[in-house]
Each structure stands twice: as C-alpha cells, then as structure tokens.
Amino acid sequence: MADSLILEVADFEQDVLTGIYSEETGKPQPLRFTIQAEMKVADRYTPDTPLDASKNYMDLKFAASDALPEGVHFKLIEAVADHVCETLFLQDDRVLAVTVKIVKLAIAEAGEKIGITLRRERR
C-alpha cells in the first residue's frame, strides 16, 4: 500500500451565491464545506520539517471563501465544488486530488444533510 497524505478542512461554513430557483437567486445561501486535498508525500516528516514540505491548511479554506469570485452566481453547487478543486490544483503542483463535500444548509427541513461530493484528480 502506498503512503498518502490528505489535508482536510471539515464543516467550514460560507455564504455563496448559488441556486436555480427564484427564491435562491440574488442572495447568498449558507453552504457547509468539507475539503480534502491528497498531496504528494515527503519521504519523512521530522519535528523540524518546514511548512513548505506540506501545504497550509488555510489554503483549503481560502479556496472555498476568498477565492470564489465575488458577485458570481453559481447555478449548481457542483460548479462551486469544481471551482474549489481548480483553485487548489492551480495553487500547488503537489495536490494530486481534491474532494469537496458541500451541504446546502438552507434547504434542510429536519436536519438532513442535502448536498454533493465531488472528487477530481489532477489531469
């Protein structure tokens, strides 16, 4: 079995312009993100291994917040997830794959988690 390194930011909430129905358009709605980035693994991590041997976890959060284009309405949350994946691939050549789970918080009626999970591998 090969070594692997997966960085994760879980249950991060961000308001995003998304949706296809009239009640969803024109105003941001809350989404809950869990983002995983599979990275190339260093041969070894020691107590003094510098950050540049891995990736800053905050880059994952940035891809689902500040990196989303301001004022752009995403009809599908699949497109939001795709944008997050592309942002992480562009940031760092060591990112091998990205998994983005998005839950639409505003449409839950009884606490259910309604959303998608998109996994993209570097092409």
Token pair belonging to 103: 């839950």
Lowest-confidence pick of 33-37, 41-45, 77-81, 99-103 = 41-45
The per-residue pLDDT for range 4-42, each reduced to its tens digit, is: 999 999 999 999 999 888 777 788 999 999 999 999 998
| Averaged pLDDT score across all residues of the chain | 93
Which class would CATH give 5-121?
alpha beta
Exposed / middle / buried, residue 81 (Cβ in 10 Å: 0-12, 13-18, 19+): buried
Instruction: Tell me the domain boundaries of the chain.
Output: 5-121
With 0.85 as the threshold, say if the pTM is over it: yes
